[in-house]
Amino acid sequence: MGQRAPPDGDPQRDGTLVAGQRARRQDQRPGAGQRGAARSAQPPDPDVPVSPDASTEIGDAVNSAKLATLGMLVAGVAHEVNTPLGALASNHDVIKRAMGKLQDILADDVVDETELTEVRRIVRALDGILKVNDLAVTRVLELVGSLRSFGRLDRSETDRLDLHEGIDNALVLLRHRMERRVRIEKEYAELPPIECFPQQLNQVFMNLLLNAIQAIEGEGTITVVTAPDDRGVRIEIHDTGRGIPPELLETIFEPGFTTKGNRVGMGLGLLISRQIVDRHGGRIAVRSETGRGSTFTVTLPLELPDESDAGGTPSDPAP
């Protein structure tokens, strides 16, 4: 995992492609015009100026995609919170009835052995209920805490981020999408916090993990690996899903690419992720094999590049 693509940007034989390199060779290949006409959207050539209208259109689409991500998170958290809140509500009624019985027993001047037995039974029941409530409250707090980390996807402040915390928060919020069919394996190395825009990197983790979940049609495994890298740190997200066909591998970071239900549709998650990683001075690459899954590798420096604009958004095309 994490192999480098050759300098000219063509995919390696193992299917590795680095974002941002293929487009520069697009018009040099025979038949590129005919193939391009069949695609619903093509990325702007970095050497050709982009018209203001096209830039605005892509920027608006990116912002819409961010709002859709936030909407998905809110809907998922609402679904997840419903179960522990239901348990708390049900247990609240049980506790009220139990307290009523205790008050009736304690109201007597003399408590016989039968009543003492009932008190002991109620206390044991209350102890079990409190344990269930503790789990429910912990789950709600975990969900709310993770949602707060993603609540402001465009927050511009830089900070030092524990990458593992960001990844784990994304996994918590996506738990309902796994439906107990996707197993998560973590291979975390010891990493230093990195200087970054935390909310933007959180969005990258969300996009890549969501793609991995959607790529797995039945049961499968997602493996998250982190390690030091000569560039700083490396994050690899591998899934055992359907994989990306070789003929589509070169287009995955273009506006409009997605493979859902084995069809190509409109999507901006990978485009946004590439722009965010680029802004951090990093690199995103993919290796994929049809029928065996895909591996997305993100490398990031420990410090932001000097030219980063702390007040901007990750979307270069946005106005």
Q: Given this model, what pLDDT does residue 4 score?
A: 39
Q: Given this model, what pLDDT does residue 265 score?
A: 36
Taking 60 as the threshold, does the pLDDT of residue 56 lie above it? no
For residue 177, is it within any domain?
yes
Helix (H, G, I), strand (E, B) or coil at 86: helix
Q: Given this model, what pLDDT does residue 317 score?
A: 34
247, burial (CB in 10 Å: exposed 0-12, middle 13-18, buried 19+): exposed
Supply the CATH number for residue 240's domain: 3.30.565.10
143 and 219 share a domain? no
Q: Which residue among 107, 131, 147 closes a domain?
A: 147
Taking 50 as the threshold, does the pLDDT of residue 123 lie above it? yes
Q: Which residue among 129, 147, 165 closes a domain?
A: 147
Residue range of the domain that includes 105: 81-147
The better pLDDT of the pair 147, 106 is held by: 106
- Domain count of the fold of the chain: 2
For residue 288, is it within any domain?
yes
196 and 58 share a domain? yes
pLDDT grade, residue 313 (50/70/90)? very low
Whose tokens are 């993770």? That residue is 146
What gap in Å lies between CA 111 and CA 290, rounded to an integer? 73
293 and 169 share a domain? yes
For residue 167, is it within any domain?
yes
Q: Which of 6-10, 11-15, 117-121, 203-207 has the lowest mean pLDDT?
A: 6-10
What gap in Å lies between CA 282 and CA 62, rounded to an integer? 20
pLDDT grade, residue 288 (50/70/90)? very high
198 and 70 share a domain? yes
Q: Given this model, what pLDDT does residue 58 score?
A: 46
CA dihedral 31, 291, 10, 303 (to 10 degrees): 140
187 and 164 share a domain? yes
115 and 64 share a domain? no
Q: Using one digit for the tens of pLDDT, what is the confidence trace for 243-272? A: 988 888 888 887 666 555 444 333 578 888
For residue 318, is it within any domain?
no
Calculate what percentage of the chain has a pLDDT beyond 70. 63
66 and 210 share a domain? yes
Q: Which of 47-51, 161-165, 274-278 has the lowest mean pLDDT?
A: 47-51
Q: What is the mean pLDDT of residues 162-179?
A: 87
109 and 129 share a domain? yes
* Most confident residue range from 34-48, 104-118, 211-225, 301-315: 211-225
Instruction: Give, to the nearest 10 degrees, the angle between helix 113-150 and helix 163-173.
Output: 120
For residue 295, is it within any domain?
yes
pLDDT grade, residue 229 (50/70/90)? very high
Output the pTM of the full model: 0.60
Q: What is the mean pLDDT of residues 102-118?
A: 80
162 and 141 share a domain? no
125 and 237 share a domain? no
Q: Using one digit for the tens of pLDDT, what is the confidence trace for 70-85? A: 666 666 666 677 777 8
pLDDT grade, residue 167 (50/70/90)? very high
pLDDT grade, residue 226 (50/70/90)? very high
109 and 250 share a domain? no
Helix (H, G, I), strand (E, B) or coil at 260: strand
